[in-house]
Amino acid sequence: MGASVVMVVLLFYRTQTTWPGLLIVLAGVPVYFWWRPEGGRGIERLPPSPGAMVDKEG
């Protein structure tokens, strides 16, 4: 909520520098939905590395 207020204030007072940043952030939204695992066609997760499977207790 606070970030939204800051964004609106900056859109009114620093228009020339705020729009490019806002466009960059909005361009990343489709990438987020494509990348996340529960998305329809997300990137396949790699199997864990062999070091991750080692039991660290013994």
pLDDT tens profile 29-55: 888 888 776 645 555 666 667 666 666
Query: What pLDDT score was predicted for residue 27?
Result: 92
**For 16-39, what is the mean pLDDT?**
82
What's the first-to-final CA gap in the chain, in angstroms?
Answer: 48
CA 30 to chain CA mean position, Å: 10
Q: Are 35 and 43 in contact (CB under 8 A)?
A: yes
Domain ranges of the chain: 2-39
Radius of gyration over every alpha carbon of the chain, rounded to an integer in angstroms: 20
Query: What pLDDT score was predicted for residue 37?
Result: 65
Q: Are 34 and 42 in contact (CB under 8 A)?
A: yes
Percent of all residues in the chain with a pLDDT value above 70, rounded to a whole number: 62
Q: Are 18 and 4 in contact (CB under 8 A)?
A: no
